[in-house]
A and B are shown apart, each in its own frame.
Chain A
Amino acid sequence: MPDVGMTMIERILARKAGLASVAVGDTVTVDVDLTVLIDLQFATMWLPPLRIADPDKVAIVMDHAVPAPTIKDAAGGPNARKFAADFGIERFYDVGRHGICHQVIAENGLARPGEVLACTDSHTCAGGAYNTAARGLGPAEVYSILCTGRTWFQVSPTIRYEFVGELPAGVGGKDVFLHIANEYGDATNLNLEYGGPGLASIPLHDRRTIATQGAEVSADFSTFAFDDVLAAHFEALGVAGFEPAEADPDAAYADVREIDLSGLVPYVARPGTVSRNGLPVTKIEARRIDQAFIGSCANGQLDDLRIAAEVLRGKQVAPGVRLIVTPASQQVYRDAMRLGYLQDIADAGGVVTNATCGACFGYHMGVVGPGEVCLTSSTRNFTGRMGSPEAEIYMASPATVAASAVAGHITDARAEATR
């Protein structure tokens, strides 16, 4: 049988649809390997299903509104607990074992190479860092997958990002993403694929930042190549038995874009969108800030907190600036506490919150007010995203946010470090 060249995502979709190959434009129905429900699913009009496809292919993560900031959210908790008990859902990450679902998914090896993962949060594409076909889907669709174990996708064209060179010190995944978003703009109804010889120099936490933010350029799937870094990651977790998806040498791409990592510098996105709206930190205006935020599925990882702590150690947050740091999970919180990062952050005058989606989606734990300027290392700088539509949200890496919190205005962490 003649093999048709496929991209990584086409390979996974074909496999899970039971087809030899798929092509752009095909609509395929696929088996979903893991369905992840979040707390919000249980807080509004929850209807318990009569039966579900497979309790072993379900996880429940309490993340967006925990501990509950509203009575409505509080009412969802018992619904989730009852559902988990009634259907024997063993992967239930309740408050205390909780975290932002994409972090919990990562820590527990739930996004597996070559598999399909569906979850009720738009940043589920984070799982693409692990060579997983992971998509955020609406609550009704995730509910449907919970019941049937399947869903459909229409195969979109794929853009390949080919990394070459090595990532310089002081430049992180956020900077890589903001550079790409600024250079190439939106990828609506397109898949993104990341690989190339430079990939080895991008640490896993930075890959997850990049994969997560595929949502902000409107992409469908974001998928990273499987390599030695991922192999070591899954070996350390004791996760085995998966089948990574490789891109064929003759795969057809809508575009192949080479990114020379060695030439990258820290980036800042201006308020409103990340798409064609950024500048190198050396060229951005030294805007005074009211709130600095480090957190979210994109940048609340242990390494993000380490980077922030290294910048903040022995320094003080500038008067008039609130620095809010939200670990991405209870596990990250505990590790960061053990390693002293939380002490450094709090000693510098930062506020460390419970693990939650919180301030990133403007719901609790750091909502911004009218006229305020926020510099965030989270997922979105859209108008109204973090609170008032009259607030301005700039976006940058955890290093840039931490250095700017100390300076009181947007600044280059590399320059501050030598001061």
Chain B
Amino acid sequence: MSDQKLQANGRVWVFGHGLTTDDMYPPDAMKLDLPEAAKQVFYAVRPGWTDQVRPGDIVVAGRNFGLGSSRPVAALFRQLGVAALIAEEFNSLFFRNAVNAGLPAMTVPDATSVFRDGDIAEIDLATGNWANQSTQTSGVVPVLPPLVLEIIASGGVLPRLAQQGYLPAELAELLSSPSVAAAGQGSGA
């Protein structure tokens, strides 16, 4: 599998350990529509970040990334144009939300010391390869199960459902667009 949707190459933003879904999708943001809610990501951790992040950027975090709620933070990242997530360790619910939104996510040990703000990262989920182009460091991590790669390569779970006839076929393309696929059928908590 060498799908482009399994690869990302972009400028990184490095965050710390134990970031919760409340840090990324605070309760007040749940009262807003997606584009407005996305402006709240990291609102207290790094105020103003959502004005600085550009489409194609990659978010790097430390241990236990995404602890907390089922609310689809991946939807907000896709809304902001974030191309991939890299973390030393993911909370499994948060990781699944990324997969189901078609957002590439890779576990890289020591990610927060390997990468610094502004470095250019490159990942390929199909091979497990990652690299920091800015520092010429690289590594390989275990490849995710084929089923998981298939979901990400499909652009998330909703386009797959449209392909399988559970949703109107004419929605398939629309559901692949970042903002719609990322919305992930409502919200959770």
Residue of B with least CB distance to A29? B147
Minimal Cβ-Cβ distance residue in B for A220: B92
Quick one: which of B34, B64, B100, B180 contacts A218, CB cutoff 8 A?
Answer: B64
By a CB distance below 8 angstroms, the chain B residues around A135 are 93
A147 contacts across to B, CB distance below 8 A: 161, 164, 166-167
**Nearest CB of chain A from residue B88's CB, rounded to whole Å:** 10
User: With A121-B188, A140-B97, A218-B67 as given contacts, are A148 and B166 in contact (CB-CB < 8 Å)?
Assistant: yes
B64-A121 in contact (CB<8A): no
Chain B residues near A363: list those with CB within 8 A.
27, 30-31
Partner pick for A44 among B97, B148, B183, CB 8 A cutoff: B183
Chain B contact residues (Cβ within 8 angstroms of A): what range?
Answer: 35 or more
CB-based contact B68/A382 at 8 Å: yes
CA distance A73 to B92 in the complex (A): 28
Q: Do B189 and A41 have beta carbons less than 8 Å apart?
A: no
Chain A proximity of B50: nearest CB distance (Å) = 16
| Residue of B23, B100, B101 with most partner-chain A CB within 10 A | B100
Residues of A contacting B68 in the complex (Cβ-Cβ under 8 angstroms): 122, 215, 380, 382
The 8 A CB mask of B126-169 against A (1 = contact, 0 = none) is 00000000000000000001011000000011101100111110
Q: Which residue of A lies closest to B186 (CB)?
A: A41
Chain A residue with Cβ nearest B168: A50
Give the A interface residue count (CB, 8 A). Answer: 60
Contacts of B57 in A (CB 8 A): none
A109 at the interface (CB under 8 A from B): no
B23 adjacent to A383 (CB under 8 Å):
yes
Mostly helix, strand, loop or mixed at chain A's interface?
A: loop
Interface: A5 (CB within 8 A): no
A137 touches B67 (CB 8 A): no
> B89 and A188: CB pair below 8 A?
yes
Q: Cβ of B92 and Cβ of A142 under 8 Å apart?
A: no
The 0/1 profile, CB within 8 Å of B marked 1, for residues 143-181 of chain A is 110011000101010000000000000000000000000
0/1 string, A197-217, CB within 8 A of B gives 1: 000000000000000000110
> Complex formed: what's the CA distance from A135 to B94 in Å?
12
B37-82 contacts to A, CB under 8 A, are 43-44, 63-64, 67-72, 74
A-B contact pairs, 19 of them (CB 8 A): A44-B186, A45-B34, A46-B185, A76-B186, A137-B70, A138-B100, A138-B188, A139-B70, A140-B97, A140-B158, A142-B185, A147-B164, A147-B166, A148-B166, A186-B67, A188-B90, A218-B67, A357-B189, A384-B23
